[in-house]
């Protein structure tokens, strides 16, 4: 037995890490197939599976520290599982990041070449982008390997791989037939920067300074009638009064009219003398008219002091008084606070208006004043909404009111909706369903409960952000840039009564930072109602556990509030929506502001109608996609399907559990599959199952190929005929009505067992005319047992050519494919299924851990959960571990613009991958952010050196022993059991005790037993930490224990027992007992040392493997530490 010695320190990670990486890759240690083989040799015959799908990073950029941090966690889980005897699959991939990648590609690749998207056809653009990203992806993979991620890189999968495409399109197809996906005209977030719709979650809010415009909706003819109302005002000017109002809200007043530096409000209750000098102080606002009494008050900071007359004669007073009033009768504000002061007006406050001055008439006309920060949307108003409990407007609800507005005379319905805040602005909400998500919701709510009298939307802003033909003279003006012009013009006409500065939240596009324009447009949506409930249920029932736990609640709330998910994006980079139209599909705004869809010039109401008329259809890319149904004990008994799937990546394999003869499992699996017009291959018991299913559900399929498990002339047939395929196949005679052709393959003979044969067979059998044996003799005498794979291949090839021919004719026949592509989250939301399906590994589903940053909990985790449950009925992962976001050295979020990006390769070359992994993991907890910390990195580099030197100590002391001693050590090693012995001193508790004292305490005790006990405790604690996903604590505890118990205490204590020479180099004489003690100690040292290496391996794989390689094979259970078995602690 020879013990290789380690080089002198300090440890240099750069020398060893790349070699170790090469060793792992060369030996394919990362593959589950290798795991199966190695574990098998170790006596673990049926290892449990353990699966982690690596979140695919975006393919377009060089990864920085933040991108890579997740791999450290994923790898810890994976490596530990491997060392616990599991067959580990870690599946890497890269994401095409549709929208973002297209922007980056155009900006960073095309623009510097002086090119733009317009220089390419769609296909050219796609091809060039694909080859570019293909190159870039390699960089990301290098980083993944370099940090030690032990994923099966041979399987690295791109989200635009044809095999993924198959899953993505099949999912869409299933959603199409389940009516979960629809194309609808609906409000969308239109990003002018992307020239595409984006989902809510791709937007962010920003507070900006803007104006609140108070817009007049005048009652026609009311300008003339102004006197009448005023005349009714009664006065009781008996005493002077200083207005003083109990105030509640300090923010709302800033929204109010500010005129001549004073805020002006209306109030009532009290009286003033005409010439009283008064101070009006108030902070509330209320239009108040009872018996035509009106009053005004001002804020405390801006008292109006003056006589009543002076106040009344102020311009603003007149404006407000005349404008913000009433539609009808007596309207009472219900929120006059106690102690309010009121100014009562008299009928002298009237004014003869010049009949010709229309603008003034508008300004002083009675009507509504409604506050808005977006005056340009008034052209899209289709209703006025009030709170149902707002007493001021009770009479008006459900009335249609003719109004003069900035765009002429219109009729608006007043509706009630609880969403309207009666205290905001004037308590009235102008409803613009086409250009406000809020209004759109109210619009939907109203129309859902008032089907007989629906309100409309009116789209007045185009995708170019400009006002359209419905805006009269404002047509062509820009909704954002020309806002002030529009408002000024309205002000001149008297329709903007006053304006004031206000803060407003605008929605901007997260990617391009342009202002989102809510507009009506036809987009593809996923109806999330049917998807979110199972997801919500899974979260609540803890079918999927989320770490940190508090994020569970966050996800639940998000799911509950989820609206329909827009999945179409108007870009080229991604999966093109597989729906075809008979001619161009166009979207126009008609005279009423409705969005009208036409296909090839023919107007359609909605897509189902178009489909019915033959103007639209779903047509998946022309990849042949047969459905493969396994026989009993699926899917293992259908291994031959793997061959088919190699040739046809689009083939869709049905996964079932063990099948009983009631076919319950089949039915469950079938329900998730769309059989419509497909070629179906069914093996053995799958054949009767699918026949029954097709007949029951009345599904039309294209072709059915049945593979019989036995041949009627086989020796087994007599027993087979009463069960399985043969017993259950009776209904085959009816199937001809549901598919174009049926073929049964069971022999080497080219003759097929046709439907007609079967019909005859079954009929005669049923009539008792023939026996099975007779038929067997007549028809099957020459057939052999095994099924004919070549024949199956030929058949499929034939169907494929038919299938492709059909598809290719689409464009010739004038069909045009939808121009949009899927949202990137639509495809990545199916990632666990797409990856495993692509490799035929669905038996690894559901996966064990999904590890990712908490920032994409809603974006990604939720989608995977919904789609996973939808497609398979099972959660895609059992645990979700969310790591915190890593910040730059300055403590700020890392971003290119801040210039604080730290690249992984720089850190690794300075400190090594192991130290970096430690920095990511030790002492950190799920969900909590942390900084790139060079002090920590230095500390962990020192730790690695410590391990190196402890290893040198251990190996050199073993190496110094004689061959016979080594043999004795080997025997002793096998006897050592790491157990907790409760009576002994606990070493881990002595860390803070002075070292001299420890030596005293240990006098006469068996240090080896005490150490074993201490390590056992460590093992147990680490188990617990892992069970609860506290990996940061696990790492920290191992670190502490290794350094301060093992190195500082144990090794110091045993030195005298194992050294062969004294300080002067003279040999030490030992008694027989002392020699035995030395052997025992070295054996214990070795066992414990290995245990530490194993415990440390998931965290610092490179160093531990390097050291492991120096331990002689005779003294270890596995050549690589990756597969050495670290049993969990058992009492």
Is position 953 an interface residue for RNA (rule: CB under 7 A)?
A: yes
Minimum distance of RNA from residue 952's CB (angstroms) = 4
> Do 94 and 158 form a contact (C-beta atoms < 8 A)?
yes
Minimum distance of RNA from residue 429's CB (angstroms) = 4
Minimum distance of RNA from residue 960's CB (angstroms) = 9
Minimum distance of RNA from residue 80's CB (angstroms) = 18
DSSP state of 988: G
| Residue numbers 881-920 binding RNA by CB under 7 A | 891, 893
Query: Bridge partners of 203?
Result: 509
CA distance 647 to 898: 49
Is position 191 an interface residue for RNA (rule: CB under 7 A)?
A: no
CA distance 88 to 80: 10
Query: Bridge partners of 183?
Result: 524
Instruction: Count Cα neighbours of 463 within 13 Å in the Cβ-side half-sphere.
Output: 15
Could you tell me how many residues make up the chain?
1131
Q: What is the DSSP string of 161-182?
A: SHHHHHHHHHHHHHHHHTT-EE
Is position 930 an interface residue for RNA (rule: CB under 7 A)?
A: yes
Mask of contacts with RNA, 1096-1115, x by CB under 7 A? --------------------
899 φ/ψ angles, rounded to the nearest 5 degrees: 70, 20
| Residue numbers 389-448 binding RNA by CB under 7 A | 419-425, 427-430, 432, 436-439, 441
Tell me how many residues contact RNA (CB under 7 A): 93
User: Toward RNA, which CB reaches closer, 312 or 1041?
Assistant: 1041
Mask of contacts with RNA, 1034-1073, x by CB under 7 A? --x---x--x---xx--xx--x---x-xxx-x--------
Minimum distance of RNA from residue 356's CB (angstroms) = 33
Is position 296 an interface residue for RNA (rule: CB under 7 A)?
A: no
Task: Return the range that interacts with RNA (CB under 7 A); candidates 38-46, 50-58, 251-259, 900-908.
Answer: 251-259
- Using alpha carbons only, give the angle 719, 721, 723 rounded to the nearest 5 degrees: 85
> Do 1025 and 1041 form a contact (C-beta atoms < 8 A)?
no
Residue 41: its H or E element: helix 32-41
User: Toward RNA, which CB reaches closer, 925 or 1110?
Assistant: 925
Among 566, 868, 1032, 1098, binds RNA (CB under 7 A): 1032
| Residue numbers 457-496 binding RNA by CB under 7 A | none
Give buried/exposed letters for 1090-1104 (b at 16+ CB in 10 A, else e).
bbbbbbbbbbbbbbb
Task: Return the range that interacts with RNA (CB under 7 A); candidates 98-106, 228-236, 552-560, 753-761.
Answer: 552-560
Minimum distance of RNA from residue 615's CB (angstroms) = 35
Q: What is the DSSP string of 396-421?
A: GTT-EEEEEETTEEEEEEEEE-TTS-
Mask of contacts with RNA, 553-582, x by CB under 7 A? xx--xx--x---------------------
Task: Return the range that interacts with RNA (CB under 7 A); candidates 186-194, 273-281, 800-808, 942-950.
Answer: 942-950
Is position 247 an interface residue for RNA (rule: CB under 7 A)?
A: no
Mask of contacts with RNA, 966-1005, x by CB under 7 A? -------------------------xx-xxx---------
User: Toward RNA, which CB reaches closer, 440 or 726?
Assistant: 440
User: Toward RNA, which CB reaches closer, 756 or 895?
Assistant: 895
Which residue has tokens 């959960």? Answer: 865
Is position 1024 an interface residue for RNA (rule: CB under 7 A)?
A: yes
User: Toward RNA, which CB reaches closer, 358 or 934?
Assistant: 934
User: Toward RNA, which CB reaches closer, 157 or 406?
Assistant: 406
- Using alpha carbons only, give the angle 245, 250, 251 rounded to the nearest 5 degrees: 135
Contacts of 29 (CB under 8 A, 6+ apart): 150, 1120, 1122, 1123
Mask of contacts with RNA, 681-700, x by CB under 7 A? --------------------
CA distance 74 to 71: 5
Minimum distance of RNA from residue 1062's CB (angstroms) = 5
Instruction: Count Cα neighbours of 207 within 13 Å in the Cβ-side half-sphere.
Output: 3
Minimum distance of RNA from residue 1063's CB (angstroms) = 4
Minimum distance of RNA from residue 1117's CB (angstroms) = 25
Minimum distance of RNA from residue 920's CB (angstroms) = 12
Within 544-626, strands assigned E span 545-547, 565-566, 568-569, 579-582, 585-589, 595-599, 602-604, 616-618
Is position 732 an interface residue for RNA (rule: CB under 7 A)?
A: no
Is position 501 an interface residue for RNA (rule: CB under 7 A)?
A: no
Contacts of 872 (CB under 8 A, 6+ apart): 655, 672, 833, 845, 846
Of 59, 98, 94, the closest CA to residue 570 belongs to 98
Neighbours of 559 (CB within 10 A): 22
User: Toward RNA, which CB reaches closer, 507 or 689?
Assistant: 507
| Residue numbers 10-69 binding RNA by CB under 7 A | 10-12
For 404, left (φ over 0), alpha (ψ -120 to 50), or beta?
beta
DSSP state of 470: G
Task: Return the range that interacts with RNA (CB under 7 A); candidates 82-90, 811-819, 968-976, 1021-1029.
Answer: 1021-1029
Is position 933 an interface residue for RNA (rule: CB under 7 A)?
A: yes
Task: Return the range that interacts with RNA (CB under 7 A); candidates 52-60, 152-160, 731-739, 926-934.
Answer: 926-934
Is position 949 an interface residue for RNA (rule: CB under 7 A)?
A: yes
Of 389, 394, 392, the closest CA to residue 420 belongs to 389
Minimum distance of RNA from residue 448's CB (angstroms) = 15
**What is each CA distance from 884 to 130, 892, 920, 926, 929, in whole angstroms?**
32, 13, 10, 6, 4
Minimum distance of RNA from residue 413's CB (angstroms) = 16
Residue ranges in 85-121 assigned as alpha helix (H)? 98-104
Is position 752 an interface residue for RNA (rule: CB under 7 A)?
A: no
């Amino acid at each position: 037995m020879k013990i290789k010695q380690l080089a002198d320190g300090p440890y240099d990670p750069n020398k060893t890490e790349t070699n170790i990486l090469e060793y792992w890759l060369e030996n394919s240690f990362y593959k589950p197939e290798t795991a199966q083989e190695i574990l098998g040799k170790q006596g673990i015959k049926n290892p449990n599976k353990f699966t982690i799908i690596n979140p695919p990073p975006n393919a377009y950029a060089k990864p920085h520290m933040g991108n890579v941090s997740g791999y450290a966690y994923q790898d810890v889980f994976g490596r530990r599982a491997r060392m616990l005897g599991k067959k580990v699959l870690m599946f890497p991939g890269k994401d095409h990041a549709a929208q973002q990648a297209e922007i980056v590609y155009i900006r960073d690749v095309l623009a510097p070449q002086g090119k733009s998207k317009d220089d390419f056809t769609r296909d050219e653009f796609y091809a060039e982008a694909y080859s570019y990203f293909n190159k870039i992806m390699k960089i990301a993979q290098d980083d993944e390997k370099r940090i030690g991620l032990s994923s099966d890189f041979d399987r690295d999968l791109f989200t635009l791989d044809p095999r993924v495409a198959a899953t993505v399109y099949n999912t869409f197809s299933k959603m199409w037939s389940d009516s979960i996906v629809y194309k609808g005209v609906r409000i969308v977030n239109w990003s002018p920067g992307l020239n595409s719709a984006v989902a809510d979650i791709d937007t962010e809010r920003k507070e900006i300074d803007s104006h609140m415009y108070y817009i007049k909706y005048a009652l026609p003819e009311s300008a003339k009638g102004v006197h009448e109302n005023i005349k009714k005002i009664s006065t009781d000017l008996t005493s002077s009064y200083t207005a003083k109002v109990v105030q509640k809200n300090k923010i709302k007043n800033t929204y109010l009219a500010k005129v001549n530096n004073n805020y002006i409000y209306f109030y009532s209750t009290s009286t003033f003398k005409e010439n009283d000098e008064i101070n009006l102080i108030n902070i509330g606002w209320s239009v108040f008219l009872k018996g035509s009494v009106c009053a005004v008050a001002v804020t405390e900071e801006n008292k109006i002091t003056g006589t009543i007359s002076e106040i009344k004669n102020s311009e603003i007073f007149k404006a407000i008084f005349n404008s913000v009033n009433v539609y009808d009768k007596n309207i009472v504000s219900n929120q006059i606070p106690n102690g309010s002061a009121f100014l009562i007006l008299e009928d002298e406050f009237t004014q003869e208006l010049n009949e010709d001055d229309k603008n003034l008439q508008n300004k002083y006309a009675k009507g509504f004043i409604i506050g808005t920060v977006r005056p340009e949307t008034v052209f899209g108003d289709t209703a006025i909404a009030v709170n149902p409990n707002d007493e001021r407007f009770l009479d008006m609800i459900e009335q249609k009111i003719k109004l003069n507005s900035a765009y002429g005379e219109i009729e608006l319905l007043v509706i009630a909706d609880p969403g309207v805040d009666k205290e905001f602005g004037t308590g009235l909400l102008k409803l613009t369903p086409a250009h406000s998500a809020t209004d759109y919701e109210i619009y939907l709510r109203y129309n859902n409960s008032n089907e007989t009298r629906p309100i409309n939307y009116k789209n007045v802003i185009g995708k170019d952000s400009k006002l359209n033909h419905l805006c009269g003279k404002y047509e062509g003006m820009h909704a954002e840039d020309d806002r002030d012009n529009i408002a000024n013009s309205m002000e001149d006409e008297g329709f903007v009564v006053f304006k004031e500065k206000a803060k407003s939240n605008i929605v901007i596009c997260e990617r391009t930072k342009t202002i989102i324009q809510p507009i009506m447009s036809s987009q593809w949506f996923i109806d999330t109602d049917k998807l979110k409930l199972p997801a919500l249920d899974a979260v609540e029932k803890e079918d999927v556990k989320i770490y940190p736990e508090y994020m569970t609640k966050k996800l639940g709330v998000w799911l509950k509030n989820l609206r329909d998910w827009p999945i179409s994006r108007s870009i080229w980079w991604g999966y093109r929506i597989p729906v075809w139209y008979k001619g161009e599909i166009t979207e126009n705004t008609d005279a009423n502001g409705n969005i009208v869809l036409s296909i090839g010039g023919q107007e359609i109401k909605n897509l189902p109608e178009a489909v019915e008329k033959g103007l639209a259809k779903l047509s998946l890319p022309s990849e042949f996609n047969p459905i493969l149904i396994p026989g009993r004990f699926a899917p293992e008994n259908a291994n031959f399907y793997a061959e088919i799937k190699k040739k046809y990546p689009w083939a869709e394999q049905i996964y079932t559990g063990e099948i009983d003869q009631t076919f319950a499992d089949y039915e469950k699996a079938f329900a998730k599959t769309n059989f419509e017009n497909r070629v179906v291959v069914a093996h053995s018991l799958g054949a009767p199952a699918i026949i029954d299913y097709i007949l029951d559900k009345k599904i039309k399929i294209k072709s059915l190929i049945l593979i019989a498990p036995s041949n009627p002339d086989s020796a087994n047939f007599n027993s087979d005929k009463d069960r399985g395929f043969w017993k259950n196949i009776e209904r085959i005679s009816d199937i001809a009505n549901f598919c174009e052709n049926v073929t049964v393959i069971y022999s080497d003979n080219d003759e097929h067992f046709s439907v007609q044969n079967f019909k005859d067979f079954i009929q005669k059998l049923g009539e008792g005319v023939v026996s099975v044996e007779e038929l067997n003799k007549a028809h099957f005498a020459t057939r052999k047992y095994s099924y004919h794979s070549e024949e199956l291949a030929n058949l499929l090839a034939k169907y494929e050519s038919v299938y492709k021919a059909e598809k290719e004719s689409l464009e010739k026949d004038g069909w045009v494919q939808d121009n949009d592509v899927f949202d990137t989250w639509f495809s990545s939301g199916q990632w666990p299924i797409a990856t495993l399906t692509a490799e035929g590994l669905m038996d690894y589903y559901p996966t064990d851990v999904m590890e990712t940053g908490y920032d994409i909990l809603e974006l990604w985790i939720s989608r995977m959960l919904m789609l996973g449950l939808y497609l398979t009925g099972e959660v895609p992962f059992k645990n979700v571990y969310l790591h915190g976001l890593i910040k730059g050295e300055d403590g700020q979020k890392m971003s290119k613009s801040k210039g604080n990006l730290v690249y992984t390769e720089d850190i690794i070359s300075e400190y090594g991958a192991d130290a970096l992994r430690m920095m990511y993991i030790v002492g950190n907890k799920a969900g909590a952010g942390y900084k790139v910390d060079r002090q920590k990195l230095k500390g962990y580099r020192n730790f690695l050196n410590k391990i190196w030197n402890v290893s040198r100590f251990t190996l050199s002391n073993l190496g110094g022993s004689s061959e016979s001693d080594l043999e004795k050590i080997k025997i002793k090693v096998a006897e050592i059991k790491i157990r907790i012995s409760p009576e002994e001193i606990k070493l881990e508790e002595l860390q803070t005790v002075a070292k001299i004292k420890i030596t005293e305490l240990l006098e006469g005790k068996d240090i080896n037993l005490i150490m074993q006990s201490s390590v056992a405790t460590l093992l147990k604690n680490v188990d617990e930490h892992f069970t609860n996903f506290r990996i940061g604590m696990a790492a920290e505890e191992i670190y502490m224990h290794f350094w301060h118990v093992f190195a500082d205490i144990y090794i110091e204590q045993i030195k005298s027992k194992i050294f062969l020479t004294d300080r002067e180099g003279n040999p030490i004489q030992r008694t027989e007992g002392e020699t035995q003690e030395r052997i025992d100690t070295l054996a214990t040292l070795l066992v414990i040392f290995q245990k530490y290496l194993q415990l440390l391996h998931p965290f610092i794989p490179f160093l531990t493997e390097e050291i492991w390689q120096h331990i002689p094979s005779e003294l270890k259970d596995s050549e690589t530490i990756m597969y050495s078995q670290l049993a969990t602690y058992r009492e």
